[in-house]
Structure 1
Amino acid sequence: MGALDTPYRRGVRMATDLTAPAPVRPDVAPIQRRTLRLLFATQIIGGVGVTIGIAVGALLAERIAGTAAAGLAQSCGVVGGALLAVPVTRIMTGHGRRPGLVVAYLVGAAGGVLVVLAAATGWVPLLFLGMLLFGGGSAANLQARYTAVDLAEPARRGRQLSLIVWATTIGAVAAPNFAALADHTTGGWGLPPLAGPFAFSAAAFVLAAGVLLVLLRPDPLLTARRLAAADAPAGPVAAPVATARRVAGMRAAWSAVRGRPAARLGIAAVAVGHLVMVAVMSMTPVRLGESHSDADVLRVVGIVLSLHIAGMYAFAPLVGWLTDRLGRRPVILGGVGLLLAACAVAGTAGHHTPRLSVGLLLLGLGWSGTMVAGSTLLSESVPTGIRPSVQGLSDLTMGLAGAGAAALSGFVMRMAGYPVLALLAAVAAVPLVALALRPVPTGAPDEEG
């Protein structure tokens, strides 16, 4: 019950004791509602831009640089999103969520423009650079989920974070239609095929950045810091908030995580869940291609991956509700259980497409459980001053884990086959079970409270 004694409630008591004209807590609720509505809208806009890149990037890279370079171009986008999390969260640490999100979206927009230029000129290095910067859109989308919990009540953190994750579903569903429309429209302007969608993505990122720049006021992270500072006693005890803001970086973030078992579990849950999901998902189209004709495989892959995406995002609000209702650790364990079940079902499905579809649906649900519960646990387990850097460390770890899984999965698939890939992915998830079941030491700084 101690975790329910939040800075907001303590702030109310402090304001009452000091006979302030208005309590702190009532002012927070409308700010949080406004922040959630704004994030929900920009997540849809940004999600369209990101998904267009995922859907069209490999095809464009294949046309410009050949089949061998298509996967490398996609990996550039993943690695770019992971690496950009570091400077973006550093901006957030010093200046708040708003400038960090704006910069991330603008970098993604610049990447989209470079990809368009690469398509027009056929210059392969420019394509890779553009895809690397295009990852800024992904970095912004991922950081938005953390922005949603800066001012959230502890009992609603999981649901409010999952709401922003769920908004990605709308963008993911709408993106293919926008991609076709953009390609058709820009074809009349003289752009080469498949370049138009990236121009549309760049415009979407600029729009999202403009909306956040104008409307994300007051900044939720800076507001949360002010509340924490007002709650902290004067003198040496209050110093860590200001100090963390000055020195926060990846080294400071790792130091904060290393001393907090809950933060370690949160980062591990997000990274391992993403690794398992990417490893199995990335090779599923290849598996389907083994048993379907060229004329039929794209339709089948579309259906199977649509079910997978539905598992990842469509049920996020339910996962968030369970995270608040049952607790963070039980939902992480449930997510790992679903990941293991997914690997078992998909790995033993053979060429039975319906069973493989069930496996990919379970894979998406397991990812959602580890992502929502892990992100929520991580956010509430570290002090406000260091929180953006820790969240950036988590996204960096997650992105690199996904990129590594994507790269290795092709090698495993070629050497040993899809069932072995699924087995190895399941083995990678087992240590997370032990970490989640490990009891928290008495007196450990498990949660900020």
Structure 2
Amino acid sequence: MIATLPDTAVLQKRVLRTLFLTQILGGLAVGIGIAVGALLIEGMTGSSTFTGLAQSLFVGGSALVVVPAVRITERFGRRGGLAFGYACAVVGTVVVVTAIHLETAVLAVIGYFLLGAASFAGLQSRYAAADLAPAARRGSHLAIIVWATTIGSVAGPSLAGLAERAWTGWFGGPDYVGSMVAIGVLCLITAAIILALLRPDPLLTAREISGETDAPKRSIADGYRTARTNPAVRTGVIAAALGHFVMVGVMAMTALHIKHGMADPDEALTVVGVILGLHIGGMYAFAPIIGRLVDKYGSRPVLVAGTAILVAACTVAGSSPASDHVRISIGLVLLGIGWSAMTVGSAALVTGAVSPAERPSTQGFSDLVMGLAAMAAGLASGPIVEYASYGILCVFCAVVALLVFPFLLGRLTGPTPAEEAA
């Protein structure tokens, strides 16, 4: 039985190493998917109205897998839930490749929904990193795994073009098949590593240490009830959802905003890959700093700062002409940093507010709401750009970001994680 602090510390190091590796591989898959999604759907439909679906369903696909994933996590621990998410993404790549060959946009959208399970698994990994983390280091340990995604995610969008050229050169065929194959292979390898190396399971070990091994199994409905009755959980869920909405809404249409200002589609894919790579770098690269701030000052001040950064990002990106790639890049980097602050801060807040027995259901409910917010952002972003403009979309998203302030301004004080541990 692993119940002593030294044994727990050793196990936590092993957990962090395994999750660090899988986040790199999973980040590559997510980065490729984000880079090609909008371009793929626009090419199949010929309209900007539906292109937001690809991005929103990719990032919000957790809405499909979170319910069974929570049940699997409750029974088999983090290993089962994370492997299930990546396995769903592998199935999604098969569906998208089939849709490309059949030239069926509806099937491609369904495939992208399944591909979103990779995003779900990557987000859930941050919770796995917090299961055995001491309270005073919870934010930092969680942020290490968020940061690990930087390596894969920054390279992912640029890798999309390389995968396309390699596949076309070897096998020929329609555009974007090479990108989908690369995503499928990466997700399959990631699932295999999780099943082989994430042992003993961090969640099951945390329950064993806390004496909750016989606690009743919980569902998403239990997570909803916890959010209703626990103010800290409720604030964390709302902050995560609104931050996710803003990030997906702006990011989903940036590729088309850039493309519409360029004459060469091939050159557009390269520029989009670089700018989205910088954006994803902003999402993950600053996570360790944000985690330390959460540990020192608590989650709420970090969430306030994250909201302010999101508003600044919308201002910079929304006021940028399609040809001003430097200014768009700055806006997208700020967008990523703001999202990172909201994600790390809210995850630490939710995790610290519940016991190990309550974590999968509560964290799953939070990610479900995030997924629904992402889908809503994608559904709204396409028509707004189609009938108004990219600038108006950014104004709309800035207003959405500000909606979290009433939940934060009244309670900026309270114990920090370090004080909680003491």
User: What band does the TM-score fall into relative to the shorter chain?
Assistant: 0.7 to 0.9
Q: For 1:47-106, what per-residue CA distance to the aligned partner results, in whole angstroms no more than 9, with x for missing partners?
A: 212222222334444455544654434444334233212211221122211111111111
**Structure 2 residue corresponding to 1:392, chosen from 345, 364, 367:** 364
Q: Which residue of 2 aligns with 1:346?
A: 317
Distance change >3 Å, CA 59–CA 412, structure 1 → 2: closer
Identity of aligned residues (%): 44
**Most deviating of 378-387 and 175-184:** 175-184
The higher relative CO (CA closer than 8 Å, separation ≥ 6) is in 2
Are residue 45 (structure 1) and residue 40 (structure 2) matched?
no
Q: What letter matches 2:281 in structure 1?
A: A
Are residue 163 (structure 1) and residue 144 (structure 2) matched?
yes
**Most deviating of 329-338 and 22-31:** 22-31
Q: What letter matches 2:353 in structure 1?
A: S
Q: Which residue of 2 aligns with 1:78?
A: 59
Q: Which residue of 1 aligns with 2:288?
A: 317
For 1:399-418, what aligned pairs fall within 5 Å after superposition? 399-418=371-390
**Most deviating of 26-35 and 188-197:** 188-197
For 1:23-172, what aligned pairs fall within 5 Å after superposition? 24-64=4-44, 66-67=46-47, 70-172=51-153
Q: What letter matches 1:267 in structure 2?
A: V
Indicate if the aligned counterparts of 2:60 and 2:370 stay in contact, CA closer than 8 A.
Answer: no
**Unaligned stretches of 5+ in structure 1?**
1-20, 230-237
**Structure 2 residue corresponding to 1:274, chosen from 220, 244, 256:** 244
Distance change >3 Å, CA 384–CA 310, structure 1 → 2: same
Q: Which residue of 2 aligns with 1:261?
A: 231
Q: What letter matches 2:143 in structure 1?
A: S
Tell me the SS of whatever aligns to 2:403: helix
Are residue 227 (structure 1) and residue 209 (structure 2) matched?
yes
Distance change >3 Å, CA 115–CA 286, structure 1 → 2: closer
**TM-fit CA distance, 1:214:** 1.2
Q: What letter matches 2:241 in structure 1?
A: A
Q: What letter matches 2:300 in structure 1?
A: R
Distance change >3 Å, CA 325–CA 29, structure 1 → 2: same
Indicate if the aligned counterparts of 2:249 and 2:378 stay in contact, CA closer than 8 A.
Answer: yes
Distance change >3 Å, CA 134–CA 305, structure 1 → 2: closer
Q: List structure 1 runs of 4+ shifted beyond 6 angstroms.
A: none
Distance change >3 Å, CA 280–CA 194, structure 1 → 2: closer
**Unaligned stretches of 5+ in structure 2?**
none
Distance change >3 Å, CA 372–CA 114, structure 1 → 2: same
Tell me the SS of whatever aligns to 1:331: helix
Indicate if the aligned counterparts of 1:36 and 1:164 stay in contact, CA closer than 8 A.
Answer: yes
Indicate if the aligned counterparts of 1:52 and 1:175 stay in contact, CA closer than 8 A.
Answer: yes
Indicate if the aligned counterparts of 2:2 and 2:209 stay in contact, CA closer than 8 A.
Answer: no
Q: For 1:90-131, what per-residue CA distance to the aligned partner results, in whole angstroms no more than 9, with x for missing partners?
A: 211222111111111111111112222333343444433322
Distance change >3 Å, CA 215–CA 321, structure 1 → 2: same
Indicate if the aligned counterparts of 2:35 and 2:276 stay in contact, CA closer than 8 A.
Answer: no
**Most deviating of 313-322 and 76-85:** 76-85
TM-score normalised by length of structure 1: 0.83
Distance change >3 Å, CA 337–CA 381, structure 1 → 2: same
**Structure 1 residue corresponding to 2:300, chosen from 320, 329, 333:** 329
Indicate if the aligned counterparts of 1:60 and 1:195 stay in contact, CA closer than 8 A.
Answer: no
Q: What letter matches 1:273 in structure 2?
A: G
The structure whose Rg is larger is 1
Indicate if the aligned counterparts of 1:116 and 1:196 stay in contact, CA closer than 8 A.
Answer: no
Q: For 1:399-434, what per-residue CA distance to the aligned partner results, in whole angstroms no more than 9, with x for missing partners?
A: 111221122123333444344333322222223122
- Number of equivalences: 414
**Most deviating of 75-84 and 38-47:** 75-84
**Most deviating of 261-270 and 182-191:** 182-191
Distance change >3 Å, CA 437–CA 176, structure 1 → 2: closer
Q: What letter matches 1:168 in structure 2?
A: T
Indicate if the aligned counterparts of 1:278 and 1:402 stay in contact, CA closer than 8 A.
Answer: yes
Q: For 1:369-399, what per-residue CA distance to the aligned partner results, in whole angstroms no more than 9, with x for missing partners?
A: 1111111111111121121111111111111
Paired with 1:411 and 1:404, the residues of 2 have a C-alpha distance of 12
Q: For 1:256-294, what per-residue CA distance to the aligned partner results, in whole angstroms no more than 9, with x for missing partners?
A: 111111111111111111112222333334444565555
Indicate if the aligned counterparts of 2:157 and 2:276 stay in contact, CA closer than 8 A.
Answer: no
Tell me the SS of whatever aligns to 2:176: coil
Paired with 1:418 and 1:191, the residues of 2 have a C-alpha distance of 33
Paired with 2:199 and 2:31, the residues of 1 have a C-alpha distance of 28
Indicate if the aligned counterparts of 1:266 and 1:375 stay in contact, CA closer than 8 A.
Answer: yes
**Most deviating of 197-206 and 298-307:** 298-307
Q: What letter matches 1:284 in structure 2?
A: T
Paired with 1:403 and 1:281, the residues of 2 have a C-alpha distance of 13
Paired with 1:215 and 1:423, the residues of 2 have a C-alpha distance of 45
